[in-house]
Each structure stands twice: as structure tokens, then as C-alpha cells.
């Protein structure tokens, strides 16, 4: 075979495969994007061990995402933003609620944490926390109580209501405060996964220890940006 033709054929094949891979990702709704984890698996050590994070992101979150893609494929819901679906989730199939929530909640959770984070919020967010909970310590206490008190699997949330007032809720399974099935809806600012898969390898049954140590990795600048966006609506 002519060497140049050989090179050309291999080059075309590689380009073809690359564009095929791109097309498969690009064909998904923009709302359905499985984003890379924003840090390395060991980046949240010692709070979250690398093995837990790898399994949590690579298997649990990936499975919610894959199942969500299957659940909406070929339906009217395909291509609609998840936030729109959540606002009428009581009328949609359970698979969309469970896997849509599962995907959205985890994507939000990864960004709620950061390496070398923690510390304290400041500015308008801190002022709102002090206004609505009395102090940062009291807020933390109530948030941890919500995380610990959620029976079975679920999430704890800090939420901004319509008027910008802050409140704490917990939700079962993969529900979230954007869904029309929760008692009190609002804009999520911060969430903590209290499914056992989030902590069991390191903390076993000690969910309270896991919730208490959460503050060492909370990405307060991200929470503040969410709060600013929520109050500008
Ligand atoms: Mn989880």
C-alpha cells in the first residue's frame, strides 16, 4: 500500500471515530450533560476518601445520568431543562423523578464542595444566615440536625425562598426543593447527600460525624453566587 494513502486512511479513521464520539455526546440535550468531577477523587481527603468519591461519582451518579437519558429518550421531556421538569414532576414518570433528581442533585453537590475550602461565608450570604438563623453556628447545628434526622436515604438542603429568606429542608430519595412534590419549594443553595453510599466506607453508621465534618469542604463562594442569583430573580 502506498504509504501516504495508508497515513491518510488511518488519519481519517481517527477523525471519524473522534467525531462519532463527539456526535454521541453532542446529540444529548444541553440539560443532560455528565460533567467531569471538578476535582480529583482524592481532593476532598480526609473528609471524603478517594474510593468513596470514585464510586459515588463514577458509578452512582453515572448510573442516574444513564438512566435519565433512557427515561426521557423519545419522549416530550427530551430536551427540556430539568428545572422545568421538576416544576411539574408530580405528573411525570417516576423514573424521571428518581433519575432526574439523582443526576441534578449530584451535579449540584459536587460543586457545593471544593478542595481547600470550608471557612466561613461572608457578605450578603452571611448577613442572611445571621438574619434567618441567628448565627452561623446555629445554622450549622440545624443543617446537621436535618441531615441526621432524614430517615433513610435523602438530602439536606439550604434553600432560598421567594423573598430571599433562607430555610433548611430535607428531602427523601432523590427529591429536591425545585420539585412540586416537596412541602416547601425554593432555590437550592447547598446540599448534602445523606445516602449511605455517600459516607459508609469511611464513617459506617456515623452519619452525624459525616454531616459535622461537611463544613471543612463547603464551597462558600459557590453558595454565595447561588444566593446572589436567587435573590436577583
Ligand atoms: Mn449520592
Q: Give distance in angstroms: CA of 215 to centre of ligand 1.
A: 18
pLDDT digits (tens, 9 = 90+) for 39-85: 999 999 999 999 999 999 999 999 999 999 999 999 999 989 999 99
Q: Which residues contact 23 (CB under 8 A, 6 or more apart)?
A: none
Q: Give distance in angstroms: CA of 151 to centre of ligand 1.
A: 15
Q: Angle at CA 33, nearest 5°, toward 109 and 231? A: 50
- Give the pLDDT mean for 32-36: 94
Helix axes 220-232, 123-133, angle to 10 degrees: 80
Beta strands in 80-163 (DSSP E): 154-160
> Which letter does DSSP use for residue 61 in this model?
I
d(CA 148, CA 146): 6
Strand partners, 191: 157
Looking at the predicted structure, is the pLDDT value of residue 14 above 50? Answer: no
pLDDT score for 233: 64
d(CA 38, CA 109): 11
Q: Considering the entire predicted model, what is its pTM?
A: 0.87
Q: Give distance in angstroms: CA of 224 to centre of ligand 1.
A: 23
Q: Give distance in angstroms: CA of 7 to centre of ligand 1.
A: 46
Is residue 16 very low, low, confident or very high in pLDDT (cuts 50, 70, 90)? very low
Q: What are phi and psi of 219, to 5 degrees?
A: -90, 80
d(CA 145, CA 135): 15
Q: Give distance in angstroms: CA of 56 to centre of ligand 1.
A: 6
pLDDT digits (tens, 9 = 90+) for 78-136: 989 999 999 999 999 999 999 999 999 999 999 999 999 989 999 999 999 999 999 99
pLDDT digits (tens, 9 = 90+) for 150-162: 999 999 999 999 9
Q: Are strands 166-172 and 187-193 parallel, antiparallel or unpaired?
A: unpaired
Residue 97, H or E segment: helix 94-112
Q: Give distance in angstroms: CA of 9 to centre of ligand 1.
A: 45
Q: Give distance in angstroms: CA of 1 to centre of ligand 1.
A: 54
d(CA 213, CA 70): 36
pLDDT score for 32: 86
Q: Give distance in angstroms: CA of 41 to centre of ligand 1.
A: 15
pLDDT score for 148: 97
Q: Give distance in angstroms: CA of 106 to centre of ligand 1.
A: 6
Is residue 2 very low, low, confident or very high in pLDDT (cuts 50, 70, 90)? very low
Amino acid at each position: 500500500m502506498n504509504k501516504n494513502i495508508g497515513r491518510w486512511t488511518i488519519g481519517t479513521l481517527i477523525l471519524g471515530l473522534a467525531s462519532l464520539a463527539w456526535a454521541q455526546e453532542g446529540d444529548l440535550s444541553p440539560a443532560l450533560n455528565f460533567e467531569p468531577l471538578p476535582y480529583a477523587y482524592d481532593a476532598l481527603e480526609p473528609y471524603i476518601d478517594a474510593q468513596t468519591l470514585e464510586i459515588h461519582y463514577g458509578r452512582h451518579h453515572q448510573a442516574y445520568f444513564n438512566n435519565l437519558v433512557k427515561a426521557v429518550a423519545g419522549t416530550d421531556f427530551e430536551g427540556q431543562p430539568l428545572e422545568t421538569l421538576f416544576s411539574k414532576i408530580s405528573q411525570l414518570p417516576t423514573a424521571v423523578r428518581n433519575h432526574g433528581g439523582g443526576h441534578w442533585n449530584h451535579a449540584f453537590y459536587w460543586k457545593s464542595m471544593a478542595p481547600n475550602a470550608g471557612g466561613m461565608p461572608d457578605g450578603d450570604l452571611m448577613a442572611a444566615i445571621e438574619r434567618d438563623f441567628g448565627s452561623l453556628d446555629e445554622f450549622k447545628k440545624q443543617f446537621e440536625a436535618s441531615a441526621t434526622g432524614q430517615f433513610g436515604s435523602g438530602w439536606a438542603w439550604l434553600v432560598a425562598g421567594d423573598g430571599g429568606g433562607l430555610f433548611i429542608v430535607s428531602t427523601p430519595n432523590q427529591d429536591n426543593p425545585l420539585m412540586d412534590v416537596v412541602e416547601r419549594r425554593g432555590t437550592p443553595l447547598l446540599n448534602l447527600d445523606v445516602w449511605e453510599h455517600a459516607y459508609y466506607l469511611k464513617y459506617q453508621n456515623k452519619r452525624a460525624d459525616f454531616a459535622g465534618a461537611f463544613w471543612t469542604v463547603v464551597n462558600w463562594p459557590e453558595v454565595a453566587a447561588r444566593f446572589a442569583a436567587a435573590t436577583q430573580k
